[in-house]
Copies of this chain bind each other. A is one copy, B any other.
């Protein structure tokens, strides 16, 4: 038996009511609140079918129905239109992001904005190095056997690393290396750098090769390995909205998951060029987040994508609103980056 229009309408009503009230919804209150044009008994029959198909369930016999993860999924995919943001919201976003002075600043403002607008936990990934290009490399001597490498990416990200040199090295040598790495690497996509770095070492005169190799290994680490690590997080206090009711009684696992950068990156970092992505409950393949949903989106100047951002909340969340907000914020941030 397939789901006719009315059954879908019933499912939508259940999701909307449950999200709004946080209480299992019964057939009677459903017909009262929505113009379904049928009696409670009919709705009950529909509900029985929906339950059989796995879209809703009863917490206990003789309680109302609650959407399952599959129910939310169907709702998101077929039953909801993304709400357009109000002009006021658009203006709020613009105003909030306008004052940003700095990449750090942009990211921090964005994450706070997201948390505030969605009233959920927000995560913003810094522009990932693997999708950036090298703008400039700087070498600053610290002592005779140490220097600092500063890498500036075209996305505005700046990474620094201390380089321990194998032996005393003069300032001139450092300047020399600086020139070499810049001519070789400036403007290159991060992904293309490894062979170029290798070439740098190979082309180096024998007596300086050791030093250059040293720099090269740090370069590779900085450019490629540690590449996507940076994240900003805000709004954890929003987890406590709705008491301990959401998240099946304990915030513990959720807070733990939020501390793991690797996990967060998996959640918001795997961005396809496509549009906003919604992961509901089990769909996050992380045990600790079985009771959570994640709405994420890529962002970047124009149509390219340099990083991800998103929010995390209870499966019982306002999907249309959240999706709209995440998408809008992602677009604004992208525009902002495009200006730089």
Contacts and interface: CB of A to CB of B under 8 A. Distances in A.
B135 A142 contact: yes
Contacts of A136: 140, 148
Q: How many copies does the complex hold?
A: 2
A114 to B, nearest CB: 13
Interface in A150-191: 150, 152, 156, 158, 160-162
A102 B255 CA distance: 27
Given A140-B152, A152-B140, A161 B102 contact: yes
A160 B235 CA distance: 26
A138 interface: yes
Interface string A183-211: 00000000000000000000000000000
Nearest to A288: B237
A251 interface: yes
A38 interface: no
Interface in A99-146: 101-104, 135-136, 138, 140, 142, 146
Interface residues of A, number: 33
Given A102-B160, A140-B152, A161-B101, A236 B252 contact: no
Contacts of A146: 340
A234 B259 contact: yes
Contacts of A252: 237, 240
Contact of A340 (B102, B140, B162, B244): B162
Contacts of A258: 236-237
Contact of A150 (B104, B158, B236): B158
Majority secondary structure, A binding face: mixed
B234 A255 contact: no
A252 to B, nearest CB: 4
A256 interface: yes
A311 interface: no
B158 A160 contact: yes
A250 interface: yes
Nearest to A104: B160
A228 B148 CA distance: 22
A204 B236 CA distance: 49
A120 B157 CA distance: 32
A290 to B, nearest CB: 16
Interface in A250-302: 250-252, 255-256, 258-259
10 contacts: A138-B138, A138-B140, A140-B152, A146-B340, A236-B255, A236-B258, A236-B259, A237-B252, A240-B250, A240-B251
Closest 3 CB pairs of A and B: A237-B255, A240-B252, A237-B256
Given A103-B160, A150-B158, 8 more contacts: A135-B140, A148-B158, A156-B162, A236-B259, A237-B252, A237-B259, A240-B251, A244-B244
